[in-house]
Structure 1
Amino acid sequence: MAAVPAPVRELDGCRPDALPLQALLEGGEPVLLKGIAAGWSLVEAGLESTQAAMAHLRAHDNGRPLPYSWGPPETGGRPFYTADFTALNTQALRGTLATVLDEIAAHLDDAHPPTHYIASVPVDSVLPGLRVRNDLDFAAHGIDAPPAIWIGNRITASCHYDAPDNIACCAVGRRRFTLFPPEQVHNLYPGPLDPTPGGQAVSVVDFDAPDFERYPRFREALEHARSAVLAPGDAIFIPSMWWHHVQGLEPFNVLVNYWWSSMPAWIPTPMHALYHALWSIRDRPEREKQAWREIFDYYVFGPAERAGEHLPEPARKALAPIDETTARQLRAWLIARLNR
């Protein structure tokens, strides 16, 4: 028997205009924000009916083409890989929101509908005015976190992580989230870095029918999992780097999410460093790799001030906190050497 994930901690009484962001960040664990978006007009429309929710979206649609994924019924609502993991099982298309909604509506009663999935499209670019009655007030905290919208039928987003912190609001339908702390990467069997179904590596384990003979360490991952089913109007805080598997549970589902980072704009994503390390470190002899581990622990993963604290301030340069000027200098230095 596989372990049953522990429930995500719930926080009641949250309001869109009073986000407990500092407490969430300090806690560093997933939290279910019960009913925080219950007053959104889109949530109210969805509780009325699927047709009302679609009509509400159509009322704000500006007709701009947007990207979406399509797959035949055999996809099973799971944008994923072909059997050899070298290609995706869905097609990347472009079309209007109205077209995608029409297609989803035509298959609402199908037991095995084609996959239609609009993923992470900026709300303001395709649904102007929707935020007036459907928004969380990040601006009150001085944070620019423009929302993205996710629209589809019964879609499964395979387990993955995101670098920014995230609040995901369930607007229409219900969604099940299964989450794992970052250290469980070793037990989740990540797939290729490229291509990926959604921009990040995903676990190749089928959560609906896990093959424990092929992926035995997944049992250990489940020992550390958290789970929550979000009703319309609920939201979930997903800390940076936590893995999350998301399942749409209704024939029509809409989610709105907000990504944000505490880092300034001049600090790039660590994914660049990961690719560079794969290229320059991973295949070296084990003795050298262990030596580089010590170097990285000293300069990067230990206390930020340690490597430069014994030096006078003018001599610290990149060992001091990285400001915008230093960031530009480091970028130029790296580009010059990579282009040699």
Structure 2
Amino acid sequence: MDSGLSIDPTLSLEALPRVTAVAAPSPEGFERLVAAETPVVIKGLADAWPALAAGRAPGTMNAYLKAMDTGLPGPVMEAPASSNGWYAYGPDLREFSFSKRNAGISQTLDRIEGLLGQKDAPFVAIQMLPLATHMPEFVRQNPMPLVAAKVTPRLWVGGPLRTQTHNDRDHNLAIVLSGRRRFVLYPPEQVSNLYVGPLENPPPLSLVDPEAPDLARFPRYRDAYAAARVAWLEPGDGLFMPKHWWHHVTSLEPYNAMVNYWWGDTAVGLERPVDIFQIALLALKDLPEGERGYWREMFATYVFGDRGEATAHIPESLRGVLGTLSPAQRAALKQQLKMAVLRSPT
């Protein structure tokens, strides 16, 4: 790293508190973990999977996966050796440090294995491969009863990569098959302390390197670090991350394989929070400060505050949109908003 960086050696990832670890729960127990909205490591979650037995060495794991390959091309990412395996932004924040393309899965697995131990080799990875379409036999052989049957896994295979801090709109259950992984986790409310890049270039990434944070450039990161925790995963371990938790992921071995399950981002249309957030940016961000203060308090009181406290003085029958919405009220409100959008000038 640049010796001119202002790095505090006390901000060690090794010193972070560990994410709580539990034994594999029942489906009902897992539902309670999800409802708690807190990350948790599930030890030995995939110990009975055939995939875990195959993952003890790159050759055996690759052979296991290739035997189930349907031949469909899938998403492959590649970064040059000069990136040191850091999947992050490029210098101008408009592009990333890696390229993305579709390629043959078996051929890419062979290439990943062939690059092991080579000097100045690029960092190649299969990421987010939908196994239901590309390796349906994997899904059959390695069931996950903790999630709904319609939630199917995705595969991640590659070398010693670092994926820069980002978050997901879904809940995430990640299970390591080969190698070891480290997840550094930050609560959703730490967004202002993570110095996140442009929203127009998804996924938005933090600009801070948590392994060597430049505190002169990113002084608020100290607060994000104070709220962070870390998970160290061995083969067979799972990590549940609630939606919107920020996470920095490091693959710690020359060869690593993982599957994950995403679910929970089911809202559509006018009920999608991300779209409402963008409408708020359009409508509120550039208002005069006095008006911004008014709407800030309206949101704090009626959206994010104690709804019962805010409306206790209004008879229940008169609370309207401030109360518990009936199906008819929800439909009427959505229709009203649709008409407002139609009247909006371009």
TM-score (norm 2): 0.86
What is the alpha-carbon distance in structure 2 between the residues aligned to residue 6 and residue 242 of structure 1?
A: 16
CA deviation after TM superposition for structure 1 residue 56, in Å: 0.7
CA distance in 1, matches of 2:336, 2:112: 48
Give the deviation of 1:20 after TM superposition. Answer: 2.4
Is 1:157 the counterpart of 2:166? The answer is no
On the 8 A contact 2:27/2:146 being kept in 1, the answer is no
SS, match of residue 44 in structure 1: helix
Where 2:82 maps in the other structure, the secondary structure is: helix
State yes or no: 1:227 paired with 2:233: no
Contact kept, 8 Å, 1:266 with 1:327, in 2: the verdict is: no
Unaligned runs of 5+ in 2: 1-9
Letter in 2 for 1:150: W
- Do the aligned partners of 1:175 and 1:230 also contact (CA within 8 Å) in 2? yes
Where does residue 4 of structure 2 map in the other structure? none
Structure 2 partner of 1:166: 172
1:11 maps to which of 18, 22, 28: 22
Q: 1:301 aligns with which of 301, 304, 307?
A: 304
Q: Compared with structure 1, are the counterparts of its residues 111 and 9 closer, same or farther at alpha carbon in structure 2 (3 Å cutoff)?
A: farther
Deviation at 1:316, TM superposition (A): 4.6
CA contact (8 A) 2:46 2:237 kept: yes
**Is residue 42 from structure 1 mapped to residue 44 from structure 2 by the alignment?**
no
Equivalent residues in 2 for 1:259-278 (5 A)?
259-261=262-264, 268-278=271-281
Q: Which residue of structure 1 aligns with residue 138 of structure 2?
A: 130
Q: 1:216 & 1:317 partners in 2: Cα distance? A: 39
The answer as to whether partners of 1:5 and 1:224 remain within 8 angstroms in 2 is: no
Among candidates 37, 43, 46, match of residue 28 of structure 1: 37
Q: Specify the code of the residue in structure 2 equivalent to 1:229.
A: W
Q: Could you say what secondary structure the match of 2:86 adopts? A: coil
Aligned partners of 2:60, 2:183: CA distance in 1, in Å? 25
Partner Cα separation in structure 2 for residue 120 and residue 322 of structure 1? 36
Cα gap change, 1:125 to 1:322, in 2 (>3 Å):
farther
Alignment of 1:193-272 (within 5 A): 193-195=199-201, 199-261=202-264, 268-272=271-275
Q: 2:115 is matched with which residue: 107, 110, 113? A: 107
- Counting only pairs closer than 5 Å after superposition, residues 132-151 of structure 1 correspond to structure 2 as 132-138=140-146, 144-151=150-157
Root mean square deviation of aligned Cα: 2.8
Q: Cα–Cα, structure 1 residues 316 and 296, in superposed 2: closer, same or farther, change >3 Å?
A: closer
Aligned length: 332
CA shift, 1:304, in A, is 5.3
TM-fit CA distance, 1:38: 1.3
- Structure 1, gaps ≥5 residues long: none
- 2:100 maps to 92
Tell whether 2:329 aligns with 1:320. Answer: no
Change (3 A) 1:89 1:299: same
Q: Quick one: percent identity of the two aligned structures?
A: 32
Shift in Å at residue 274 of structure 1? Answer: 1.9
1:62-81 correspondence runs (5 A): 62-81=70-89
Describe the shift of the 1:143–1:79 C-alpha distance in structure 2 as closer, same or farther (beyond 3 A). same
Shift of 1:266: 6.8
